[in-house]
Chains A and B, each alone.
Chain A
Amino acid sequence: MRTLTFANALNEALRQEMRRNPKIYIAGEDVGLYGGIYGVTVDLFKEFGEERVKDTPISESAIIGMAVGSSAAGLIPVVEIMFVDFIGVCMDQLLNQAAKMKYMFGGKAKLPMVLRTTEGAGHGAAAQHSQCLEAWFMHVPGLKVVLPSTPYDAKGLLTTAMRDGNPVVFLEHKYLYGTVEGEVPEEQYTIPFGVADVKRQGKDVTVVATMRMVHKALAAAETLAKDGISVEVIDPRTLVPLDEDSIIASVKKTHRLVVVTEEVANAGSSAEIAARVADKAFDYLDAGIKRVTAPFTPVPFSTVLEEEFIPSEAKIITAIHQVLGKAVPA
């Protein structure tokens, strides 16, 4: 099968679904002529024109509000907030408008819309362009939260998002765009929300990881396999809905859990996953749950500090040794 980068897989999902459904349009900052700051919407302007690929003013509240209003008026907007960090200037339109309209209106509104945005550190972009804020969104009833780790998942999940019929927050780790390449079918396909993917089978410890951390967890699993430690790596792929059944089934098999996210630990998605397992599978655990996350700091700029900030393969290996009750190698 042919391979695509993460960014190209997203581009293909948009292109194919826009060809299929004329109600879909794209809007955001620099998504048109420029092709998106990370190239995800490249050439879509050329194919679909200015009517369907809209360069907007730098007005994030207007961008999300436009999605809400046009969705209520019958369209399916796919809007982009360039960096998730910018959600701070427009959160009302997502938090109080998009997420709540259906419920507040007694079910009579339908708001199909996708909010694409980028997350993550690794580019020296510092504190206002590097955060992982998935916990903000998963705390709000009415939003769905999607965060793929591979090109295959990215294409399938984005296609699902455009057909879901609800406000979907689609989080793309910017480090993955060009660095991760994988097999992607040429035809359209969907991946249901709320279905985790076991990225590697194992029997000694369950590692639940998201986005870029899936790749670090897989690298750690590969390293540990040489020492005879069998690590199962699960990518939930969507946080809302969360496939807790798959996670709990894995924990019942391995009896140990490590959760790895690039967010800070405080009230993070890692806390939610750990709490649900503690609630529903406590008796199956042979060790306390460990979390590997970023430290509780803004994302630092300096390359050495940023490297220290991002959870590393070494830290994941240490956590796995700890839940296995093994001495941590020096």
Chain B
Amino acid sequence: MTEKIENEKLLTMYKSMVTIRLFETRVSELFAAGKLPGFIHLYIGEEAVATGVCSQLKSQDYITSTHRGHGHLIAKGGNLNQMMAELYGKRTGYCKGKGGSMHIADVDLGILGANGIVGGGPPIATGAAFGIKYQGGDGVVACFFGDAASNQGTFHEGLNLASVWKLPVIFVCENNLYGISVSQARHQNISDVADRAAAYDIPGVVVDGNDVMAVYEAAGEAIKRARAGKGPSLIECKTYRWRGHFEGDPTPYRPKSEVDAWMKKDPIPRFETALKEMGVITDAGIAAMKKEIGEKVEAAVKFSEESPWPALSEILDDVYTVGPEAV
């Protein structure tokens, strides 16, 4: 650890990870109970990545997320009530029920959206970084994507443009070893996505994506570099998704032994152990925090259940910006 992390920050990071876990576990149950329509892609097991990166971001910094986006949104400060209501398709959701799981966004928090298109984010993140630089700000953009997205042309176009213009963006690859059902060994001829940084002459580092402090440290280095005008970096976080690609995926493509092995590397108890060793939290403190977060998640469910559906007339709203809102 190159610099000591304040206790308060450590607790915030822990809280973020537990919130993601409990929120998503509840989402999984609600989906199984038929309460949530559409596709749900869960982030359980990968919490350390979003948390480690977003804990380095300021409120005015941007992120672009993915179809597996709940974790990024929570880590960037997303409101649980509005998130859950959006998953229900309710009027009170982040997107007024127009977006659902794959499109939750909060531009005011710098969240430029989850994204239903694999590889949709890198060009947008690059653009937002250009916007920051053009306006003379010191903000950065964190662009999340998976191992499979690194095979999309948009990944390469984004990294190339960001590197040649030295834009303040950090590209965060969450390598969870699968592009839907196809393992990394079957979808690319490299084992480290970070190697691709060499093609753009930018730093490329591999970190243990289940070690939140390692992610935090790597993100900090990349962000410092970006804010200093030295351009983008590529951080590859090795991790694993516990659930299927989507809820309901029977996962015939991976052995149970592999899942079990990764579940033993659960980032949350690992961080708990470290925090207890550092004297930052006690078992009682952990239990209290989990209880509090569990209650918040239940409150979000209740809020969503009780929220109204969108009015049918709203179907036509917000296709275009009109009137005085326009430029």
Residues of B within 8 A of A141 (CB): 319
Q: How far, in whole Å, are A108 and B108 apart by their CA atoms in the complex?
A: 9
Distance to closest chain B CB from A328 (angstroms): 43
Verify B123–A144 contact, CB threshold 8 A: no
Verify B158–A65 contact, CB threshold 8 A: yes
Provide the A155-179 mask, 1 if CB < 8 A to any CB of B, else 0. Answer: 0000000111110000000000000
Verify B126–A69 contact, CB threshold 8 A: yes
Verify A69–B157 contact, CB threshold 8 A: no
Provide the A76-112 mask, 1 if CB < 8 A to any CB of B, else 0. Answer: 1100000000000100110011000111111111111
**B284 sits at the interface (CB 8 A):** no
Residues of A within 8 A of B153 (CB): 61, 89
**B116 sits at the interface (CB 8 A):** yes
**A56 sits at the interface (CB 8 A):** yes
Distance to closest chain A CB from B64 (angstroms): 8
Verify B161–A56 contact, CB threshold 8 A: yes
For residue B114, which residue of chain A has the nearest CB? A104
Segment of B89-97, B173-181, B210-218, B223-231 engaged in the interface with chain A: B89-97
For residue A111, which residue of chain B has the nearest CB? B321
**A298 sits at the interface (CB 8 A):** no
Provide the B94-116 mask, 1 if CB < 8 A to any CB of A, else 0. Answer: 11111100010111100011011
Verify B157–A62 contact, CB threshold 8 A: yes
Query: Of the candidates A66, A67, A76, A108, which one forms a contact with B105 in the assembled complex, judged by CB atoms under 8 Å apart?
Result: A108
Interface centre among B99, B108, B160 (most CB of A within 10 A): B99
Residues of B within 8 A of A64 (CB): 123
Verify A106–B320 contact, CB threshold 8 A: no
Distance to closest chain A CB from B148 (angstroms): 15
Interface centre among B132, B326, B327 (most CB of A within 10 A): B327
Verify A166–B126 contact, CB threshold 8 A: no
Residues of A within 8 A of B161 (CB): 56-57, 59, 62, 66
**A71 sits at the interface (CB 8 A):** yes
A93 and B123 contact, Cβ closer than 8 Å, known pairs A69-B129, A105-B95: yes
Verify A104–B320 contact, CB threshold 8 A: no
Verify B134–A25 contact, CB threshold 8 A: yes
**B71 sits at the interface (CB 8 A):** no
**A74 sits at the interface (CB 8 A):** yes
Q: How far, in whole Å, are A74 and B117 apart by their CA atoms in the complex?
A: 23
Verify B128–A103 contact, CB threshold 8 A: no
Verify B321–A73 contact, CB threshold 8 A: no
Which chain B residues (31-70) contact chain A, with CB distance < 8 Å?
62, 64
B residues contacting the other copy or chain, number (CB 8 A): 49
A104 and B103 contact, Cβ closer than 8 Å, known pairs A59-B161, A69-B112, A164-B326: yes
**B318 sits at the interface (CB 8 A):** yes
Verify B160–A62 contact, CB threshold 8 A: yes
Which chain B residues (159-202) contact chain A, with CB distance < 8 Å?
160-161, 164
Verify B95–A72 contact, CB threshold 8 A: no
Verify B160–A142 contact, CB threshold 8 A: no
For residue B154, which residue of chain A has the nearest CB? A61
Residues of A within 8 A of B164 (CB): 57
Q: How far, in whole Å, are A105 and B317 apart by their CA atoms in the complex?
A: 11
Query: Of the candidates B107, B122, B131, which one forms a contact with A105 in the assembled complex, judged by CB atoms under 8 Å apart?
Result: B107
Residues of B within 8 A of A101 (CB): 105, 113
**A70 sits at the interface (CB 8 A):** yes
Q: How far, in whole Å, are A311 and B107 apart by their CA atoms in the complex?
A: 47
**B240 sits at the interface (CB 8 A):** no
Residues of A within 8 A of B103 (CB): 104-105
* Further pairs besides A59-B160, A77-B127: 18, Cβ < 8 Å: A61-B154, A62-B158, A65-B158, A66-B126, A68-B127, A69-B123, A69-B129, A71-B131, A73-B127, A73-B131, A102-B320, A104-B99, A105-B95, A105-B103, A141-B319, A163-B327, A164-B326, A166-B320
Residues of B within 8 A of A (CB): 62, 64, 93-99, 103, 105-108, 112-113, 115-117, 120, 122-132, 134-135, 141, 153-154, 157-158, 160-161, 164, 317-321, 325-327
Residues of A within 8 A of B (CB): 25, 51, 56-57, 59, 61-62, 64-77, 89, 92-93, 96-97, 101-112, 141-142, 144, 162-166
29 pairs of residues in contact across A and B, judged by CB atoms under 8 Å = A59-B161, A62-B154, A65-B123, A65-B154, A66-B130, A68-B127, A69-B112, A69-B124, A69-B129, A69-B131, A70-B134, A73-B127, A73-B131, A74-B131, A76-B327, A92-B154, A93-B124, A97-B120, A102-B320, A102-B321, A103-B319, A104-B105, A105-B107, A106-B95, A106-B96, A108-B107, A111-B321, A141-B319, A144-B320
